[in-house]
Amino acid sequence: MSALFEPITLRSLTVPNRLWMAPMCQYSAAPDGPAAGAPGDWHFQHLAARATGGTGLILAEATAVSPEGRISPYDLGLWNDTQTEAFRRITDFLKAQGTIPGIQIAHAGRKASTERPWVNRGGPVLPVQRHGWEPVAPSAVPFDDGFATPAELSVEQIQERVAQFGAAARRALAAGFQVAEIHGAHGYLINEFLSPFTNRRTDEYGGSYENRTRFALEVVDAVRAVWPDELPVFFRISATDWLTEDESDAREGWTADDTVRFARDLREHGIDLLDTSTGGNAPDAKITTGPGYQVPFAERVRKESGLAVGAVGLITEPRQAEKIIADGQADAVLLGRELLRSPSFAQQAARELGAEIPVPQQYLRAV
């Protein structure tokens, strides 16, 4: 038996296997007009192809809780009924293939208002430019040279963003999603609050660990309040800013120790799985990469907090993914770029590992 193709049950939801699709922005929604932020044909085929390929759970890309929360003007959103209705076509199809549909709800914070990555290398779209807007953040610290200085959120505005996450989760449920993932990683708004590198506040949302995690936990509570008890909620985290790992860098950032501590807090607040990534908050951090380079962070969280974890990062081979699950390093693996290259990776992995998974009858002659 293959560990990778064993089902896993979270709350009352059973996912058919442990090979999942990580959320990957497609930058392909309309930037304005009545269909702004709504998924279209590109998003349908992108997600549907991985479902017919056998992926057990698919997380739709970072989907903004408000227009200002988009990474780029071309991102998906869940702030109106048009977007909610457009997602139903996708979730219905994924369920029909036996795949669990999930969605990542997000706010880009100071990294908002950027170009698509294939235009000007994804550089900033400044507020004075077409489709540009002023980003917001816990503190008025720009992401990098050339980026706009974000407006520092007031306490009242922070509470408005908490409510936006809750409203987006309610829409996600209405759209047919069975998993909601809160995006707290990669230098976006929640990560900016968590890390002392980007959070310079001196009020109840800054300074101490308890204050810096306050916004994240309020968001979790708002989402969990509208999400059914029988369905799971995930949280994606950057387990480290990769600052303390570099002894030559004196800057203070979010650490692996913080992540383990926070995982315990998240578990108490009703989070069911920690989708464990790293980096994205400090643009000049020195990151040591390699196959499975982020897996040890997930493994540590799983062992020290008891929270289920997903492992990500340069996982590209079936036997590599199998070993991660079989060795107890993670409860699931989430593939990104490998699934862009190979939409039917799950089918291929099943054949290599001697597992049997359903194949669409239209494709049976290829088996």
* Buried residues in 72-109 as b, exposed as e (16+ CB within 10 A): bbbbbbbbeeebbebbebbbebbeebbbbbbbbbbbbb
* Structural domain boundaries enclosing 216: 3-357
Task: Please report whether residue 363 resides in a domain.
Answer: no
DSSP state of 362: G
For residues 280-303, average pLDDT: 96
Task: Please report whether residue 365 resides in a domain.
Answer: no
The reported pTM is 0.97
Task: Please report whether residue 304 resides in a domain.
Answer: yes
| Annotated catalytic residue, options 27, 74, 188, 205 | 188
Active site (annotated) includes residue 188: yes
Mean pLDDT score of the chain: 96
Residues 345, 19 contacting (CB under 8 angstroms): yes
pLDDT for 186-215, tens place per residue?
Answer: 999 999 999 999 999 999 999 999 999 999
For residues 342-350, average pLDDT: 97
Q: How many domains does the chain have?
A: 1
- Lookup result for tokens 């490998």: 338
Task: Please report whether residue 362 resides in a domain.
Answer: no
Task: Please report whether residue 367 resides in a domain.
Answer: no
Distance CA 295, CA 291 (A): 9
pLDDT for 102-135, tens place per residue?
Answer: 999 999 999 999 999 999 999 999 999 999 999 9
For residues 156-166, average pLDDT: 98
Per-residue model confidence (pLDDT) at position 247: 67
Task: Please report whether residue 63 resides in a domain.
Answer: yes
pLDDT tops 80 at residue 250? no
Closest listed residue to residue 187, CA positions, set 198, 202, 196:
198
Strand partners, 59: 102
- With cut-offs at 50, 70 and 90, classify the pLDDT of residue 244: confident
pLDDT for 30-80, tens place per residue?
Answer: 999 999 999 999 999 999 999 999 999 999 999 999 999 999 999 999 999
For residues 151-158, average pLDDT: 98
Task: Please report whether residue 366 resides in a domain.
Answer: no
What CATH number has the domain bearing residue 203? 3.20.20.70
